[in-house]
Amino acid sequence: MLLSLEDGRLTLFASDNRLSLRHVMPVEQVSGGRVAILGHLLLEILQGLQTSRSAEVHVQVTTDGAGGGGRVVLTSADAVYNIGGFSAESF
């Protein structure tokens, strides 16, 4: 899944080479960028967050600076999830 943050919009793009899905939503943005993550991991995390006490989820992306994806950290009121990311170009 490709996550892209630009101009106060988060775009989620997923594809399995037969079907593609794109969703755009407004967000509060500190900085922009793009990163790819494994979609099934994001799905499992979001399913777990449905029972969270807070509707807010904070997303932080750190890059390794060498063209890789770095880390994606999702934080809610109840948990912190740390996911390995990939370069957006590899998506």
Contacts of residue 71, defined as CB under 8 A and 6 or more positions apart, other chains included, come to: 61, 62, 82, 83, 84, 85
DSSP 13: E
pLDDT tens digits for range 19-72: 999 999 998 888 888 889 998 998 888 888 776 666 788 888 877 666 666 788
Which pLDDT value is given to residue 69?
A: 67
Which pLDDT value is given to residue 19?
A: 94
